[in-house]
Amino acid sequence: MTTTPATSTARKRRHKTRTRHVNHRPPIVVSTLNLNEIDLTPGKEHLVCPDCHTWCPITGIQGTPKLVPHHSDPAGTPNPRRCALGTDRRVVLDVTVGQWRTDLVEALPSIASRRATKVLPKPKTPQVPAPSQIRPTAISAEAARQAFRQHLARCSACKGEALGNNNQPLPCHDGRRLAVTFLRLLRQEPKRRAVREFFARERRRFDRQYAAQAPANRASEWATVLPAVRAADTRRAQLPVGDAPTEGPSVPLTTLRPAR
C-alpha cells in the first residue's frame, strides 16, 4: 500500500494587522470627527485618517485602539506609499456605538431637508431689440407741454435763480428745446388730427365693405366644396354588402350638415 504525504493547506490569515508599535503623535479623538468620517459598526470599525484622508480599519478595540498600517495611495496603485504619519496612531473611542447610531439617524433628516427637491429653470432674459428695430413713439403736444412744465418746476435757470460770474441769468438749453418742441407740435396738431380722422374713416369704410362682401364670399366657398360634400353624403348612405352586425352602435344614415 502506497502512502501519499498529506496535502499542505494555507494557514488562515488574520483579518486585522496586529503590531506592538504605537505612534508617538497625539491620539485621534472620535468625538471630534464628523459623522461621515467614522464607522463604529461592531467588527467593522473604520475611520478616515486625518493625515492621508483614506478609510483605515481600527485594531485593538478590546485593548489599545489604533490605526493599522495603511497606504496613502488608492488601492491598485503600483508601488504605493505608506502613511507614516497615521500608521499605528492611537484612537480614543469616547463615543459608544448606540450614541453614534442615534446621531447618524438624527442627521439624515437634516441632510435631506437641505437638498433641493426640484431644480428650478433659470428664467430666460428677453432679447433686447437692435437700435435699427426700435420704432420711436410719436409725442403729442400735450405730452410735450407736461414735460416742459415739469422742467420749469425743477430748473433754477428757467426761474432766473441761477446766475453766472457776471451776475447775469444763465440760459437753459433744455428748457428752450422743450419750448420749441411744444410750439412745433402745437402748430402741427390740426394736420395730425386730420390725418388720424382720415385713417379712421378709411378703416370704417373697409370694415363696411368687408361685411358686405362676406355673404357673397361664403356662398362662393360653399359652391366650391358642394360637389365633394354631396359625394361624401352619397357614399355614407350606401350600405355595405353582407349581414348587418348584431352588436355595436348603429351607423347614422343621414347627413349632419344643416339644410340650406
Query: Span 185-212, mean pLDDT?
Result: 89
Q: Is the pLDDT of residue 2 over 60?
A: no
- What Å distances lie between residue 30 and 22, 33, 106, 183, CA to CA? 18, 6, 18, 87
Cβ atoms 144, 174 nearer than 8 A = no
pLDDT exceeds cutoff 80 at 94: yes
Average pLDDT value over all residues in the chain: 79
Q: How confident is the model at residue 202 (pLDDT cuts 50, 70, 90)?
A: very high
Residue 10 pLDDT grade (very low, low, confident, very high; cuts 50, 70, 90): very low
Whether the pLDDT of residue 214 is over 80: the answer is: yes
* pLDDT tens sequence across 24-43: 888 889 888 888 888 888 88
Beta strands of 68-134 (E only): which ranges? Answer: 91-92
3-class secondary structure, 213: helix
Distance, in Å, from the CA atom of 164 to the CA atom of 59, rounded to the nearest integer, reads: 92
Task: Tell me if 133 sits within 8 A of 127, measured CB to CB.
Answer: no
Nearest to 141 by CA among 195, 194, 178: 178
CB 162 within 8 A of CB 170: yes
Residue 58 contacts residue 45 (beta carbons within 8 Å) = yes
Q: What is the pTM of this model?
A: 0.37
Tell me the range of 25-29, 130-134, 164-168, 239-243 where mean pLDDT is highest. Answer: 25-29
- What's the average model confidence in pLDDT over 188-204? 90
pLDDT tier at 75, thresholds 50, 70, 90: low
Q: Rounded to whole angstroms, how far apart are CA atoms 162 and 168?
A: 8
pLDDT tens column, 104-132: 888 776 655 666 667 778 888 888 888 88
- Average pLDDT score over residue span 56-70: 86
